[in-house]
Chain A
Amino acid sequence: MSSIIDPRLEAIKKQFSKVDYVLLVGSGKGGVGKSVTAATIALLLSSKGYAVGLLDLDLHGSVIPTIFDIEGYEPEESKEGLVPPVIIGVKVMSLGLFAKNRPVPIHGKNKRDAITELLAITKWGELDFLIVDLPPGTGDEVIASSTLIPVEREALVIMTPSALARVVASRTILLLRDLRVRIMGLVENMAYMKVDGKTIYPLGKPVGEKLARELHVQYLGMLPFDPSLSMAIDEKNPEKLMETLFARSVDEIIVPVVIGNREILVSKS
């Protein structure tokens, strides 16, 4: 027989064969704190003793290497594939590690190929959770990321309280649904601040709960606008990130749902 067959698809199946559960973290647009949320979920799960991986597929807005201070990573190879660096217990792999902070001027089909390549050659081993930092929006990379991952996967969608974020978040939810990805929940980031005991809404009135109701997805709640968060990120200090009010909120409203959903999935299989 003769036709062009892509051997990477079987390679991907093998690399994911011991991965229990995949959480895709997506957003309608950039700048809503998607990557930081994904990183925080991964760190919190790891601190609870789970085996956790974090995969950054945000080709154009890759910040995971900066958050984890691994921009100087040189690929480490093994017979089973590239070995992700382990930072505070989290196995981290990122397309950004190969782009080295340069712009990535690549087109649609090539984006899919780049993602396929990385999925095929990264050795995850046994993972309880793989958290995936999706590119924002509804482009080729989002479609590729969601369709290429051969494991039970759910999506968490992050938005900020604004009319614009609401429109694009709903587009993302609808696309993921069409791709047969279950929506685990919607979270509204940078939603509130406590000032002198009073709650203020720096970006405007929260709109997520209403949107979640309209789209029949679970509203997980609000994450705070937390100035100490950007300090922790500037210092490239993931441990400090975990001590922020933001991380405590992620631990309260997102992490228990992620753990619970994995347990349901694992008990079914």
Chain B
Amino acid sequence: MHEWSLASGVVLTLKKIMDEKEAKGVREVRVVVGELSQIDKDILRDAIITLSEEELGSKVNVVIEEEKARLKCNTCGYEFGFSEAFEQLKRIFCPDLKPGEECENPVHYVPELVSTYIRCPRCGSPDIEIVAGRGVWIKSVVLELEEGGKQ
């Protein structure tokens, strides 16, 4: 549910951009969600829509893209994706996870802490770098300008 605080950050940022550009509204926002953050994309989308109605006075068309996680071992150079990392998280936080259940884990809140819990699947090093797919960010915004144009 911290999806809602992130959504609030997105909407407040839209508000700021709108004010800066003296726009009438926001037509569309494209938000990228890093796989590592294990954000519930539907909750995030609905939260942005609900909050944009409250804060901006109109519904915004929300497009969510997911960025696949890529992790890299600084010791041996091995690159791996989320599934290999998640195997290790699962072993620590939810060894009995059933299909369809969520695995509560701290990486969901602070993605950077992934290296606290996982080791390189190849060499066991804790020196893991996040190459891609960590948090949530705004990729593009389509504004509704005064004369009905768009930007």
A-side residues, CB < 8 A to B, are: 1-15, 74-75, 77-82, 95, 97-100, 102-107, 110-111, 113-114, 117-118, 120-121, 123
Contact = CB atoms under 8 A, between A and B. Distances in A.
Interface of B: 1-2, 4-6, 8-10, 12-13, 15-17, 21, 31, 104, 106, 109-113, 115-117, 126-130, 134-141, 143, 151
A121 B5 contact: yes
A18 to B, nearest CB: 14
B9 A120 contact: yes
Contacts of A95: 110, 113
A106 B5 contact: no
Nearest to B104: A74
Contacts of B111: 113, 117
A14 B1 CA distance: 17
Nearest to A104: B116
B113 A8 contact: no
A163 B119 CA distance: 40
Contacts of B15: 10
12 contacts: A1-B21, A4-B138, A5-B13, A6-B138, A7-B13, A11-B6, A81-B5, A99-B113, A114-B110, A117-B110, A118-B110, A121-B2
Given A11-B8, A121-B109, A107 B129 contact: yes
Contacts of B21: 1
Contacts of A1: 17, 21, 140-141, 143, 151
B138 to A, nearest CB: 4
